[in-house]
Structure 1
Amino acid sequence: MPPKAASSRREATLPTHRATKSRTKSSMPIPKTTTKNEAQSQNQPVAPRAKKRPEAESDGQKPESSAHKRQKRSQGKELGAKVILNTAPSRRLDVFVFGSNDNGELGLGQTFKKAECNRPEFNPILSSAGVVQVSNGGMHTVALTYDNKILTWGVNDQGALGRDTQWEGKMVDIDNSESDEDEIEINPKESTPDAVDMTEIPSGTVFTQVAASDSASFALTEEGFVYGWGTFRGGNGVFGFSPEIETQRRPTLIRELRNVTKLAVGSNHVVALISDGTVQTWGSGDQAQLGRRVVERQKKLHALLPRGIGLRKGVLDIGSGSDHSFAVHKNGKVYGWGLNNYGQTGIASKAGEREAVVLKPAAIPSLQGIKKMVCIAGGNFNSIAVTDEGGCLVWGRIDNHATGIDVKRLPVESVIHDDRDRPRILQNATRVSTFDAVFATFGTEHAIAITRDGKGYSWGFNSSYQTGHPQDDDIIVATMIDAKSVRDKKLIWAGAGGQYGMLASEHSSLLTNGV
């Protein structure tokens, strides 16, 4: 949760842009950071080259997308002419990756020649780079390093990597052992983590959080400014990065934003927490995920510029699912809004209807009375939250196995059945298991939780091994990820993208081969 506002604070001044191609900062305060992620809007085109989950009998089935993470912020304090709102992470991570690698999502470079990884695999590139924070998008990832570099890898079709990935050499063939089709080719510049283009970023800028959506990426600075690149997608394809720019190919300042302390990113929208306890949103609003009215005849102008939503000051934390959003308020209420066809907002209104949405922030009844929320996030049709007492709570769609709970053990009063009397929606936040969690996140339709004793549990859709379990059947109940590479590690973070996942432990200088 963000700290209390500083007793006195001056308005941050917009940074002056001086062209620079490199900059480093070697010393940063200790962080506590994660972000999340997200997934794609109902009725939207699938992100390029994405796999599809087989169609289930469902109302409003959507394309796949990404998942998201969380960050703790420092108290605002003045440092010379700067107003320092956010503290940069410094705890280095060892990252373990698994799931689909069809488009280089795992960041293992051109030497790893498999289309899928069915168990957590140590990523030596990220360890050597000194990664301190990671955010997974639908098919790309953004990472922040200890020396203030921003690395990206994965799909770059709409500029989501923020750098030139044109490759004139031969594409690298990777083995797709699960298919009879020809071998898959990947671009080495996309599959290998590399720094974004810093041309438009002033020298001395210090980053504190990075965040990835389906086709865009964002970076938050210590002064509360936000840089972004890529584009948002809507129901008719590319919607745009801003009212004037369709696709932004390298990081640029989002000039309308100031004093931001945290970002939460969905498939095609962003939620920003401001230091005064208010919330702003922007991006695609087709599923009401912006939590505010968007005038249709001026859709781009209204949706693609950050604007406030109808919540009073006092918001302590934010979260996002694919096409829905959350805000945790100091009044003890948690608010949800956006797409609600499977009750993923936590609001019972119209849950189960094909195009159900919650137009503006509404209090979530089943989260009332929780003293403190550690994190809250969502996937396509489900959501997840962790309390400071260790409870890992889920709600949303049932028949995709994304609750992690055996359907026979779900409380009867919390389940909505369809017209054939099949259990379809878990409308109330329900504890997943008896383990105590410290963090949890959602991909499109799979979830990963980290326990107090440093173990990883996962469940949900597993066709590409995105849960980290070696069988390709769905994981119906929350199950510990038991792989040699992480068995003796104390895990502290997890990430989930469209068809892949990640785990992280604190960096060990002894770790070279994942053993």
Structure 2
Amino acid sequence: MAGTLTRKSSRTKVDPAANGEADAKTASAKTDTTKKDTAKKDTAKKDAVKKDTVKKATAKTTAAPAPKKATKAKAPTTTAKTAAPKTRTKRPMTPEIEDSAEGDDSDKQPTKRARSIRTQGSVTTTASSDDEAISEKKEKRKSAATNASSSKKTINSLPTPPEHPRPSNQIFVWGAGNFGQFGMGPEYLDEFDKPKKNPWFEKKIEEGIFGGEGAGIESIAAGGLHSLFVDEKGTIWSCGVNDDAALGRETKDVPDPEKEGAVMNIDILTSYPYPLQTLVDENFRAVSIAAGDSICAAVSAEGELRVWGSFRANEGSLGFSNGSKYQFTPAPILDLPKDEKVSSVAAGNNHLVVLTTHGNIYTWGAGEQGQLGRKIIERRKIHGTTPEKVTLKSRSLKAVVVGAGNYTSFAVDEKGGVWGWGLNNMAQVGTGYEVLGEGVRVKSISGGEHHTLFLTSDGRVFAVGRANGGQLGIPEDNEKLKSEDFKGFIAEPVHIPFPDPASEDPVVHISAGIHSNFAVTAAGALYAWGESNQGELGLGDETEAKTPQVLVRKVGGSWQAIAASCGGQHSIGLFKKKA
């Protein structure tokens, strides 16, 4: 359903037939006495109209209803129990799709009340002083109403840059980096089965490249075969495979600034991080980033969205949009009303899910598995690359969190309900179950190929979906795994046990890869579990971890984890040196 708002015009209509020609002809045949009588009558009529206008305006002003006070929703009672989770996970009831963002009428200009003044052969409109006063009052009331309406609409905040620690965070990498996704140069196209500090970033931090002395990296995202980093200035850096424009910059036939007429080595341009200069030139201060297989997105501190790369369908490249196969430089693609901004973005393998400050959800990309929340006709799959709005159940139900798996999409509404749609062949959407206690909400969602992680507001992690490779992080003696009905997956979200309970060291960050997972706690511990074919778990020779294993210790050691990101076959960690 289109969200276009039809605007009503409040302009005063003037009948062009009401000119002064007939009056001019009649006036020539009348006597002076008649003219005087007519003038008196006209004056009396004008005074009567003027008084009537003021009365009507005063009546309208008096009758204008006072704006209703916003009623705060009562916070649900939080119980001390940590067992028997109870929040319902829902499937969208045929999500409604809107072709465009809702119209915004905040730019309407108040129209002055006008009175007609006859002149020779024409009619002109002008506002009286009383009319201007009335119009000014109406404009003030409308401005106040618009501001109140805007504040009511805004339920999600803009992304804010994190604090800049000193010493700054360092980049660690592990897994397979044979396509330059480690960002360590062509001499490090290898595999690391344990986290290794990136010397290139360490050197650039010392040089003050990332925002002055000691400035470092504040955000990371591992894609299919590429990596993204955001420094303290808000500049995005990228490295890895650029065949489908995932790096957000050109790497072929780039002129060498040091050698006239020469071009730069493409291996250097892809295996070392380089900035997305087009965003630097437009003063785009990135805060949040998301990386899929070959599609990427970034949100600025002002709520602007930029997207680059390409979507791939089952049979091959789908393209970036209806008119472009590859988008090598970041481009604005989502057209929102002027008072609505982007709050966050999540990336699946080949689709994007965007959440706005007004609680609206937009999706686009490949949609064969239903991950866009709308039906995509086979012969018109390119239409999926156009952003469209997803309505969970009704227009009034807004979202506060979005997430994505490889072929799934998720949202948490403002009432705490969790919604999921997309591929559900191994129950990875997790719909139809009550899994959280009263007062507990899902604050983050991250999915892999056939499983999904849910992080709750009390620091617990739940998982659902495929469970035959340690993806869910539950011990082998779990009743659901031992059940005769077990078919390789679990349909009801299960609680993942960590060495320290959430009451002592809650989880604050999660990331799900194809079959691997990471969780970071408030104390800086990093846990890994799942499958590891090329060292992406970082646990050395271990290729499978059924339950969360310590990668960075809470107590002891030299580093504490800030964040970790699972890529296609590599992993990135953001670590801080312990004092």
TM superposition score normalised by structure 1: 0.70
Give the deviation of 1:304 after TM superposition.
0.8
Partner of residue 363, structure 2: 281
1:196 to 251, 266, 276: 276
Structure 1 Cα separation of the partners of residues 316 and 303 of structure 2: 31
Query: Which amino acid in 2 is paired with 1:343?
Result: A
Kindly indicate whether residue 211 of structure 2 is the aligned counterpart of residue 133 of structure 1.
Answer: no
1:122 to 185, 197, 201: 197
For this pair of structures, how many residues does the alignment match? 396
Q: Deviations over 1:381-402 (max 9, x none)?
A: 1111121222121111111221
Query: Which amino acid in 2 is paired with 1:474?
Result: E
Give the deviation of 1:374 after TM superposition.
3.0
Structure 1 Cα separation of the partners of residues 106 and 386 of structure 2: 19
Kindly indicate whether residue 524 of structure 2 is the aligned counterpart of residue 432 of structure 1.
Answer: no
- Relative to structure 1, the CA distance from residue 262 to residue 240 in structure 2 (aligned partners, 3 Å threshold; closer, same or farther) is same
2:333 to 244, 254, 265: 254
| Contact 2:220–2:572 (CA under 8 A) maintained in structure 1 | no
- Relative to structure 1, the CA distance from residue 386 to residue 195 in structure 2 (aligned partners, 3 Å threshold; closer, same or farther) is same
Partner of residue 145, structure 1: 231
Partner of residue 108, structure 1: 184
Query: Which amino acid in 1 is paired with 2:457?
Result: D
Q: Deviations over 1:142-166 (max 9, x none)?
A: 1111112110111111010011223
Give the deviation of 1:314 after TM superposition.
2.3
| Contact 1:414–1:428 (CA under 8 A) maintained in structure 2 | no
Structure 2 Cα separation of the partners of residues 460 and 210 of structure 1: 24
CA RMSD of aligned residues (A): 3.1
Structure 2 Cα separation of the partners of residues 220 and 439 of structure 1: 19
1:478 to 531, 534, 548: 548
Partner of residue 171, structure 2: 95
Structure 1 Cα separation of the partners of residues 242 and 105 of structure 2: 35
SS in 1 for 2:412: strand
Partner of residue 156, structure 1: 242
Q: What fraction of aligned residue pairs are identical, expressed as a percent?
A: 29
Structure 1 Cα separation of the partners of residues 558 and 480 of structure 2: 35
Structure 2 Cα separation of the partners of residues 84 and 450 of structure 1: 23
Partner of residue 28, structure 1: none
Partner of residue 174, structure 1: none
Query: Which amino acid in 2 is paired with 1:121?
Result: K
Partner of residue 531, structure 2: 461
- Relative to structure 1, the CA distance from residue 162 to residue 334 in structure 2 (aligned partners, 3 Å threshold; closer, same or farther) is same
| Contact 1:415–1:427 (CA under 8 A) maintained in structure 2 | no
Give the deviation of 1:415 after TM superposition.
8.3
Structure 1 Cα separation of the partners of residues 106 and 347 of structure 2: 23
Partner of residue 320, structure 1: 404
1:306 to 387, 400, 408: 387
Query: Which amino acid in 1 is paired with 2:466?
Result: R
1:236 to 299, 315, 338: 315
Give the deviation of 1:12 after TM superposition.
11
Structure 2: tracts of 5 or more residues without a match = 1-69, 71-103, 108-148, 211-215, 256-264
Q: Deviations over 1:417-454 (max 9, x none)?
A: 23xxxxx1111111211333222111110001112321
Point out which structure has higher relative CO (alpha carbons under 8 A, 6+ apart): 1
Query: Which amino acid in 1 is paired with 2:300?
Result: T
Q: Deviations over 1:264-304 (max 9, x none)?
A: 11000000001111211001001101112234443322x11
| Contact 1:119–1:469 (CA under 8 A) maintained in structure 2 | yes
Structure 1 Cα separation of the partners of residues 417 and 455 of structure 2: 15
- Relative to structure 1, the CA distance from residue 364 to residue 282 in structure 2 (aligned partners, 3 Å threshold; closer, same or farther) is farther
| Contact 2:226–2:247 (CA under 8 A) maintained in structure 1 | yes
SS in 2 for 1:190: helix
**1:312-351 matches, cutoff 5 A:** 312=394, 313-347=397-431
Structure 1 Cα separation of the partners of residues 448 and 276 of structure 2: 27
Q: Deviations over 1:42-73 (max 9, x none)?
A: xxxxxxxxxxxxxxxxxxxxxxxxxxxxxxxx
Give the deviation of 1:84 after TM superposition.
9.0
Structure 1: tracts of 5 or more residues without a match = 5-9, 14-75, 170-184, 348-362, 419-423, 511-515
Partner of residue 404, structure 1: 473
Query: Which amino acid in 2 is paired with 1:430?
Result: V
Give the deviation of 1:209 after TM superposition.
1.2
Structure 2 Cα separation of the partners of residues 373 and 415 of structure 1: 30
Query: Which amino acid in 1 is paired with 2:352?
Result: V
| Contact 1:120–1:483 (CA under 8 A) maintained in structure 2 | no
Give the deviation of 1:256 after TM superposition.
2.7
SS in 1 for 2:435: helix
Structure 2 Cα separation of the partners of residues 321 and 229 of structure 1: 19
SS in 1 for 2:380: helix
- Relative to structure 1, the CA distance from residue 318 to residue 364 in structure 2 (aligned partners, 3 Å threshold; closer, same or farther) is farther
Partner of residue 86, structure 1: 159
- Relative to structure 1, the CA distance from residue 195 to residue 439 in structure 2 (aligned partners, 3 Å threshold; closer, same or farther) is same
Kindly indicate whether residue 516 of structure 2 is the aligned counterpart of residue 441 of structure 1.
Answer: no
Structure 1 Cα separation of the partners of residues 539 and 150 of structure 2: 45
Q: Deviations over 1:201-237 (max 9, x none)?
A: 7633322211111012111123322111110000120
Partner of residue 25, structure 1: none
Higher share in helix: 2
Structure with higher Rg: it is 2
Structure 1 Cα separation of the partners of residues 486 and 531 of structure 2: 21
- Relative to structure 1, the CA distance from residue 412 to residue 115 in structure 2 (aligned partners, 3 Å threshold; closer, same or farther) is closer
Structure 1 Cα separation of the partners of residues 482 and 245 of structure 2: 46
Query: Which amino acid in 2 is paired with 1:110?
Result: P
SS in 2 for 1:395: strand
Structure 2 Cα separation of the partners of residues 308 and 77 of structure 1: 19
Structure 2 Cα separation of the partners of residues 271 and 338 of structure 1: 12
| Contact 1:375–1:385 (CA under 8 A) maintained in structure 2 | yes
Give the deviation of 1:372 after TM superposition.
2.3
Structure 2 Cα separation of the partners of residues 259 and 416 of structure 1: 47
| Contact 2:157–2:357 (CA under 8 A) maintained in structure 1 | no
- Relative to structure 1, the CA distance from residue 372 to residue 296 in structure 2 (aligned partners, 3 Å threshold; closer, same or farther) is same
Partner of residue 291, structure 1: 373
Give the deviation of 1:471 after TM superposition.
0.5
SS in 1 for 2:559: coil
Kindly indicate whether residue 562 of structure 2 is the aligned counterpart of residue 492 of structure 1.
Answer: yes
Kindly indicate whether residue 305 of structure 2 is the aligned counterpart of residue 226 of structure 1.
Answer: yes
Higher share in strand: 1
- Relative to structure 1, the CA distance from residue 291 to residue 255 in structure 2 (aligned partners, 3 Å threshold; closer, same or farther) is closer
Q: Deviations over 1:236-277 (max 9, x none)?
A: 200011111111111111143561100011000000001111
| Contact 2:252–2:266 (CA under 8 A) maintained in structure 1 | no
Structure 2 Cα separation of the partners of residues 455 and 11 of structure 1: 49
SS in 2 for 1:292: coil
